[in-house]
Amino acid sequence: MADNVSSDERLSKINEDLSKILEEKIEFLTRTLGETQRFTQKIASTELDIQRNTAQHARLSAQSQALDADLAQLGEKVVAAGAERDTKQAEKNTREKEIQRIAFEIENARKANAESESRIRELEKEQIALQKDNSQLKNRVSLLEQAAAELRQLREKLRSRIADLDSETTGSAGGGE
């Protein structure tokens, strides 16, 4: 009985595996068929393009011959225009040199402005730093003046105290004798 169950399980497993393999093969064949159809359509499209291009080539060849004749006429006009172009080119070169000279002057002025702006920023930073230092020095001077005033008061108190002690000492020494 156990062999039958085991055998049935193996057959079910084999059947499942075969179903999966069959599904994979069908999916592969479906993809291959789709790709083959697309490729066939591309071939048919390419053949139509070839036919159109062949007809277009004949038409373009005739147009090319007509254009060659026009080109010969234009060649003559080009020679005439070349002389005129040379004259205008000389004028253009003269103008370009003048423009370059002006551009150089403008660039020098811009550089000078940039340097001035940079120097102004540096001086403004220095001014801020000096104002900060000045403020700190004013605070320090104020503190030192206050401390000096306190030391003067203390000196006066100490002198007064010394004088009092001196008078006590002399008074005690004189009175005890």
* Digit-coded pLDDT (tens) for 111-135: 999 999 999 999 999 999 999 999 9
Given a cut of 50, is residue 75 above it in pLDDT?
yes
Residue 77: band (very low, low, confident or very high) from pLDDT cuts 50, 70, 90: confident
Q: Is the pTM of this model over 0.95?
A: no
Three-state SS at 8: helix
What is the Cα–Cα distance from 112 to 23, expressed in whole angstroms?
A: 81
Residue written as token pair 């591309």: 42
Residues 6+ away with beta carbon under 8 Å from 120: none
3-state secondary structure labels for all residues of 130-141: HHHHHHHHHHHH
Residue 69: C-alpha distances to residues 56, 60, 74 (Å): 20, 14, 9
